[in-house]
Amino acid sequence: MRFSIALLALLPTMGHAETHDVAMLTRGDTGAMVYEPAHLEIAPGDTVRFLPTQRGHNAASIPEMLPDGAVRFIGQIDEEIAVVFELEGRYGIKCSPHYAMGMVMIVDVGDVDETAPLPDALPTRARERMTEILAR
């Protein structure tokens, strides 16, 4: 399996940073075209590994749901990508080919404003999925 790392230069040198795994699935326990888990609450400096558990998916940042100053990333289809989340805030993640079908997830890093509305620019199905995810 090929492997890529985003934001390697930002890897913190101190300890205690955790790694969280997310499966990218065509069919999972929570439905079709899903990330599991679909919502992570992590600490700044933690890593998320997006795993190509089933074929045809990737993980990419959603530009409208990227905290100020955070670096965009886009994984290759069928490749694992490990992303270090350094900056606090709410990150939206999408699967590039299945964004319109609502294949999205949310990564909350540190203290997040839970009351902030979702951006208007999201595709309808992606917005519905995120609303469901946040209501769980």
**Sites of contact with Cu ion (CB under 5 A):** 57, 95, 98, 103
> What phi, psi does 94 have (nearest 5°)?
-130, 155
- Supply the minimum distance, in Å, between the C-beta of residue 31 and Cu ion: 12
Is 82 or 95 the residue whose CB approaches Cu ion more closely? 95
Is 103 or 122 the residue whose CB approaches Cu ion more closely? 103
Beta bridge partners of 34: 25
Q: Which two tokens stand for residue 43?
A: 């600490």
Cα–Cα distances in angstroms (integers) from residue 115 to residues 6, 37, 84, in the given order: 29, 21, 25
Coil/strand/helix, residue 122: coil
Is 45 or 102 the residue whose CB approaches Cu ion more closely? 102
- Supply the minimum distance, in Å, between the C-beta of residue 12 and Cu ion: 30
- Supply the minimum distance, in Å, between the C-beta of residue 19 and Cu ion: 22
